[in-house]
Amino acid sequence: MGGPLSVGVIGVGVISRQYFEHISRLPNLRLAAVADLDLERTATVAEEQGVEGLSVDELLAHPGVDAVLNLTIPKAHAEVALRALDAGKHVYEEKPLALTTAEARPVIDRAEALGLRVGSAPDTVLGTGIQTARALLDEGRIGHPVGAAVAWSSPGHELWHPAPAFYYQPGGGPLFDMGPYYLTSLVTFFGPVARVSGATRRSTRERTVGTGPQAGTVVPVDVDTHVTAILEHASGVVSTVTVSFDVWATETPKFEVYGTAGTIAVPDPNMFSDTVRVATAADREFREVEALAGYTDAGRGFGLADMAHAIETGRTHRASGELAFHVLDIMEAVLRAGAEHTVVELASTVDRPDPVPQGTRPDSW
């Protein structure tokens, strides 16, 4: 590569702001161009970022773009990724990798055939929060891991998002929207999932947009809005996961890991650097733990920077397409288990990604 990875962004909606903030301070990345179906928005963002504003076709054909950061809506992820790969560009995209594993498989296979990389959010698992919890597990601070429990909920994104319809279409819902943060963390902790069971519910509550130009508009709901799953990891650990868009208030949001000698209170995996707490059998009071591992001062875009460094050095990148594929397979299996009232064996597997050593910073590469 011989220099910073030149990045073209396709899709400059709400989430793109967080990527722009961090790409500008990651020395092995260079923002080269942006594109969006909304040409007026493309021009505005291009001027703000001081880069070229192009059509999607122009960006994909641009010889100065090494990698495409795909921030389109979920139903466009696979199509855009395949077009970028066929144009000879690496791909890093927002989650989920695709709407289904059937859509995602050609993306993984095409990249391998062409010698290109595919990466995917969430890269929050590379921050000091999740990586410190992993370090505690790996050093045996709570003995042998037995299980984990996740409970995440909200009343629904229509209350704050100005254009929330895609959250209630395939590729959205609480499982596909928030599930990847927790499921990627669980696989990072315990390794791949072997089988799942679950139950799902689609509430009858009418959803209306609460803010912005579409305020008052009714949002069609075509996904399950309350999901509970049991995950059996190949390592023997059992995780329970509940995610919901149907909870107005709760006193029990949590992400906890249970071991034979203690409990880890895992911070919000949608964040990068919140504090980890641990309670041991010898002292059953939760106490804060200083950061032991992970990219310091991380934010969205660090997974792409990690991929750029991996391309340069020939190693496997951590927020990989294979990991995202396995997480997608888990989510698909949960929905199938809920619909069929059965246990579903997963067809895919993946290696635990390498840990991020303490104090690792992209500006040290």
Kindly report the CA angle at 244 between 126 and 289, in degrees rounded to 5? 35
Taken in order of first residue, the domains within the chain and their CATH numbers are 5-120 (3.40.50.720), 124-289 (3.30.360.10)
pLDDT value at position 2? 66
pLDDT value at position 341? 95
Give 192-214 pLDDT, tens digit per residue.
999 999 999 999 999 999 999 99
pLDDT value at position 252? 78
Q: In Å, how far are 11, 62, 94, 340 from 269, measured between CA atoms?
A: 24, 35, 15, 30
pLDDT value at position 1? 53
Contact between residue 26 and residue 330 where contact means Cβ atoms under 8 Å apart:
no
- If phi over 0 gives left and psi between -120 and 50 gives alpha, with beta otherwise, what is residue 103? alpha
Give 212-259 pLDDT, tens digit per residue.
999 999 999 999 999 999 999 999 999 999 999 999 999 877 999 999
pLDDT of 285 higher than 70: yes
Please report which helix (H) or strand (E) contains residue 5, including its range: strand 5-10
Give 63-115 pLDDT, tens digit per residue.
999 999 999 999 999 999 999 999 999 999 999 999 999 999 999 999 999 99
pLDDT value at position 265? 98
Q: In Å, how far are 154, 163, 215 from 212, measured between CA atoms?
A: 20, 8, 5
Give 135-168 pLDDT, tens digit per residue.
999 999 999 999 999 999 999 999 999 999 999 9
- Residue spans of alpha helices (H) in 191-282: none
CA gap 218, 214 in Å, rounded: 9
Give 11-62 pLDDT, tens digit per residue.
999 899 999 999 999 999 999 999 999 999 999 999 999 999 999 999 999 9
Mean residue pLDDT of the chain comes to 96
CA 161 distance to own-chain centroid:
19
Give 226-237 pLDDT, tens digit per residue.
999 999 999 999
Q: In Å, how far are 45, 134, 318, 344 from 355, measured between CA atoms?
A: 35, 8, 8, 29
Q: In Å, how far are 40, 163, 196, 340 from 46, measured between CA atoms?
A: 10, 22, 44, 47
